[in-house]
Structure 1
């Protein structure tokens, strides 16, 4: 299992619509193979800053869905609201206690 971290910064004034579209993206992800779960975090000090943590069965699943979904209507609507391109990190949990 992997966790993909998406870091999103929205333009001032686009926070409400950007959050709505971000929620739609992650709702859509539920229908893709390999999706496990997600959480969305909104920065209390910068309302236009959203971090999404998504768990996938494998990097291959996450990459395949990114490729398929990158031209989806929801992404086309979200992109103009971005203050900068979204960052994505592929991570795995450290199992050492």
Structure 2
């Protein structure tokens, strides 16, 4: 009796990670993925609204947890709730990490 052939496993290619502020940004990324068929973009991580500081803090936890599993991290938030006097240090700290763009 012949052996059954097993399917070869495909290696998972690294992707970019988008960390977004809310539903609007998440829907925008999903729509762009549909239009351009860019397979190197993972499902966006939604922070469910709030302000820039909340997005930056979630990004810091997420990047610490997953590190180099992604090609890069893109943080996307509205500028309407970004307070440079309070959030600039955290933003600069994250931008100093490799593969992070804000």
Which bracket does the TM-score occupy, shorter chain normalised? 0.3 to 0.5
Instruction: Select the structure of larger CA radius of gyration.
Output: 2
Greater share of strand: 1
Q: Which is bigger in relative contact order (C-alpha 8 A, separation at least 6)?
A: 1
TM-score by length of 2: 0.35
TM-score by length of 1: 0.37
Greater share of helix: 2
